[in-house]
Structure 1
């Protein structure tokens, strides 16, 4: 059962709240429609229930508020608007990525494709889906965790009558299995046709909470819709004849030459228009809504006294989204589910190979720089820049296409998700660094012969420095995009390291120093409670030498600042919420 008690949204400035003291229940095994005209507060009420917006009140899902449910995706399935996914990702890839986020087996994705009728479209891109297919995919995403409750915001918007019938049949089947279904709609005829219970809102307040039979009897009645260029004249003629015949007929002129007549028939209106020479462009029978403010005659309208200010409902705090239950698997599927990663790596390898050949041809470039494809005029080699772009996209795509926010709001800032992103981007950066050197060596061997390729004496130190540069750039882009919530900020942070930070570090190292770090490994061994092996001297000196380089020091400084900024924003969000 879904219970909403005292839901009240936070008003903006001097405007009234979008939802005002809303209380109702959506029982299990039944379909409940939240009915209201556009702007009545339906979406705001759903967002308050899901703790996406701040306000007051409480919403219980089988007796527990959402923030106290360990795995919300297994209790509540949510569809708010379109599917928030990368347009280049496939339908199957989107669902498999969400399976990792919900902690469900990957086979659940194919099962849901069968349920929603998209089994043959698993390889289709999200950007090519029609409105109907997008709604089907959204329902599949909501059903991945096999939830008890479905919360849907106008799921039939833009659907054809056939797709609409299929949608409500699926919702009816979910309710028949004991689940709870709550969906918002602005169409009273749709609510009367598909729901078991109708909760009506007007200006954010509860107007009526009725069984569908009572709703259809008290809120819907037949009417005649007429469209004519002489609407005012026809309305006057029909009203005059109704008074003369002492018949209860209600005539309501509307915009664009439309007249709505209650208490009459198409035949009577057509005869009246013919007798008085009024041309008619449209004449049709309809089922009309009496309006949310009209009280039902049987007293089923939900009039309740205003809430006592001394007993305010508890506050609702908008909480950030939970991270994926399987963050490493989620991040791998997110990164490899689109062609962007492959295209970036392929472009970097092609550019690096071409630069390696050109640098070796001049003869003035050392072999390590030629293999890394790093000419003096470039602030960073293509491999480091490509790794930084991949890192920036890792968090940038989360904010641009928030797949994890489909039912929970903002992109999560969890340590597990951050560690998964750091691991995956580091793996891509190391792979890119290794492939760049291998491809460069093979190109030089092919163009100039094997005698050009020689292993330098300090190959280990050079390799460690090269790996640290690419991984550091990847992490700098990742953390900057996570802090500033945009991909461009991550790329700017990567470029700022050689352009801005390195010159500052060079000035620091160029200044005269009165102290030396000579003997650092021995002093570290003395401070350690365990006995370091003698080989550790070489490792510690290699690390110190690497950090002492301007680029290494600049990367270390930048990463430290970005880590602190990321942790600060994460902790501030937890304290605020």
Structure 2
């Protein structure tokens, strides 16, 4: 059961709060509609329930607030607006990425695509989907972890009548298995037709909480719908009899053959037509202006889901077929989940890998970096005034960073920047759940990508120089460990700076700007501090560190330690280390406040 108690949004300046002391509940096994005009606070109420917006009040999901549920995605399925995914990502990749976030097997994505009837669109890009197909993908994403509660904001807005009917049948099927469904709408007829209970709000306050039948009887205007080839004649007959009986009857001609009669019933209209010999093709009691019965319509029959081109057949009405055990649990109000859980510390890593490689961004970045690096290396080789290390890194003195470091910083900035632009984890916990496991996975994946990018760039530079100039610019290095450590440290530092900065500033562009700010702004300041000779040079530091360690490392490791120390002693290395420390502290201060952990 979902219970919202005293929901109140943060007051606005000189204006009342959008939601003010709102209390209601959505019961298991039923569909609840939150009805209100545009601007009445429906979406704000949902965001307060999901703790996506500051305010007062509490919402219990089967007795627990959201921040006390270890895995909210397994308890609550959410669809707020369109699918928040990268438009270049395919439908299947989007769902497989969310499977990793929810801790369920990747095969669950294909199962949900079959259930919502879009298995034939699995390789389509999210940006190419129609509105109806986008909503189906959103439903599939909300149900990946088989949650008990579904929360949807205006799910039928803009859909065709056929898609709207499918959606309502789908929600009815989820409720029939014991789940609770809450959706918002501004259409009173839709609420009366598709919900078991209607919660009406106005200006953020509760107006009424009624069964759908009571709502239709008290809040909607009933009528008699008539279809006849003699509409004008029947309207004249009904008007004359109403005036003779002194009854208030309103007759509206909807079209050339359709009448809507308010203030009467089917028996009176039918008897009047029979007495005057008027042929009637249809006679039905309706509620509102949509021509739908007041009671909720049953779910559509189950048919085979098939997609060919743009045509889709209607899929099963419910989210999945229930076994006997599931039906027994559904009657008790707690549906049994048959979805296997995939937990453990590798769950954030699986999510991050699927996020990174679900689009062409890494491949495109690598291609651009390799081309730019090779061209820059060839241009530097023509002058003959660049050291071999800078030549292989394609790092001229005029550039703040080499192409490989910029590419590593860009991939790092996308790690969190994409989360904020396309909040794939919004339904799970907040815009981006700031958890140590997720941060560790992003740092690890970005470091590996940075090293691969740097290796590709150096290999491409060496191959281009060998091809164009033979072996002229290149010589066998006398020492390669220290330059390699310096190169790896620069790449990983830029990637991590992009990750942390995009997490702090919530933007990929801000993350890349922070990477560029290290050599442009921080390095000159560090160079001023380090400028001049030191009275006490730190010689023999590697040997002293070896003596302090518990395990004796081999003497060859001294070169790696010296390489790392040499990187930190350089202005770029020192500025990068200091920037990473500042960004990590800022990230911890602004982000690591969630009580939910991976």
CA–CA separation in structure 2 for the residues paired with 1:403 and 1:338: 14
Q: Where does residue 330 of structure 1 map in the other structure? A: 351
**1:81 positional shift:** 0.8
Matches within 5 A, 1:202-221: 202-221=202-221
CA–CA separation in structure 1 for the residues paired with 2:106 and 2:584: 33
Q: Where does residue 120 of structure 1 map in the other structure? A: 120
CA–CA separation in structure 2 for the residues paired with 1:338 and 1:201: 42
Give the 3 Å change call, closer, same or farther, for CA 384–155 of structure 1 in structure 2.
same
Matches within 5 A, 1:166-315: 166-222=166-222, 246-249=246-249, 262-263=262-263, 287-288=287-288
**1:15 positional shift:** 2.7
Q: Is the 8 A contact 2:113 2:140 kept in 1?
A: yes
CA–CA separation in structure 2 for the residues paired with 1:338 and 1:385: 19
Of 519, 537, 547, which residue of structure 2 is paired with 1:498?
519
Q: Is the 8 A contact 2:435 2:592 kept in 1?
A: no
Q: Is the 8 A contact 2:75 2:148 kept in 1?
A: yes
Give the 3 Å change call, closer, same or farther, for CA 2–241 of structure 1 in structure 2.
same
Q: Where does residue 399 of structure 1 map in the other structure? A: 420
Which secondary structure does the structure 1 equivalent of 2:146 belong to?
coil
Q: Where does residue 354 of structure 1 map in the other structure? A: 375
Which secondary structure does the structure 1 equivalent of 2:417 belong to?
helix
Q: Where does residue 73 of structure 1 map in the other structure? A: 73
Q: Where does residue 458 of structure 1 map in the other structure? A: 479
**1:420 positional shift:** 0.8
Q: Where does residue 151 of structure 1 map in the other structure? A: 151
1:101 lines up with 2:101 in the alignment: yes
Q: Where does residue 371 of structure 1 map in the other structure? A: 392
> What are the superposed Cα offsets for residues 301-332 of structure 1, whole Å, 9 maximum, x if unpaired?
xxxxxxxxxxxxxxxxxxxxxx9982111111
Q: Is the 8 A contact 1:103 1:324 kept in 2?
A: no
**1:112 positional shift:** 0.6
CA–CA separation in structure 1 for the residues paired with 2:31 and 2:469: 74
**1:249 positional shift:** 4.9
Equivalences, count: 507
Give RMSD over aligned pairs. 3.1
Q: Where does residue 319 of structure 1 map in the other structure? A: none
CA–CA separation in structure 2 for the residues paired with 1:368 and 1:38: 63
**1:477 positional shift:** 1.6
Give the 3 Å change call, closer, same or farther, for CA 573–513 of structure 1 in structure 2.
farther
Q: Where does residue 23 of structure 1 map in the other structure? A: 23
Give the 3 Å change call, closer, same or farther, for CA 206–512 of structure 1 in structure 2.
same
Q: Where does residue 50 of structure 1 map in the other structure? A: 50
Matches within 5 A, 1:521-532: 521-525=542-546, 527-528=548-549
Q: Is the 8 A contact 2:504 2:591 kept in 1?
A: no
Task: Tell me whether 48-57 or 108-117 shows the greater mean CA deviation.
Answer: 48-57
TM-score, normalising length: structure 2: 0.78
Give the 3 Å change call, closer, same or farther, for CA 60–573 of structure 1 in structure 2.
closer
TM-score, normalising length: structure 1: 0.81
CA–CA separation in structure 1 for the residues paired with 2:18 and 2:345: 32
Which secondary structure does the structure 2 equivalent of 1:457 belong to?
coil
Give the 3 Å change call, closer, same or farther, for CA 568–58 of structure 1 in structure 2.
closer
Of 508, 528, 531, which residue of structure 2 is paired with 1:510?
531
Q: Is the 8 A contact 1:89 1:337 kept in 2?
A: yes
Q: Where does residue 309 of structure 1 map in the other structure? A: none
Matches within 5 A, 1:414-433: 414-433=435-454
Q: Where does residue 3 of structure 1 map in the other structure? A: 3
Matches within 5 A, 1:374-393: 374-393=395-414
1:563 lines up with 2:584 in the alignment: yes
Which secondary structure does the structure 2 equivalent of 1:403 belong to?
coil
Q: Where does residue 162 of structure 2 map in the other structure? A: 162
**1:533 positional shift:** 5.1
Q: Where does residue 465 of structure 2 map in the other structure? A: 444
1:133 lines up with 2:133 in the alignment: yes
**1:158 positional shift:** 0.8
Give the 3 Å change call, closer, same or farther, for CA 58–110 of structure 1 in structure 2.
same
CA–CA separation in structure 2 for the residues paired with 1:286 and 1:245: 23
**1:167 positional shift:** 0.6
Q: Is the 8 A contact 1:102 1:325 kept in 2?
A: no
Give the 3 Å change call, closer, same or farther, for CA 16–262 of structure 1 in structure 2.
farther
CA–CA separation in structure 2 for the residues paired with 1:478 and 1:174: 39
Which secondary structure does the structure 2 equivalent of 1:216 belong to?
helix
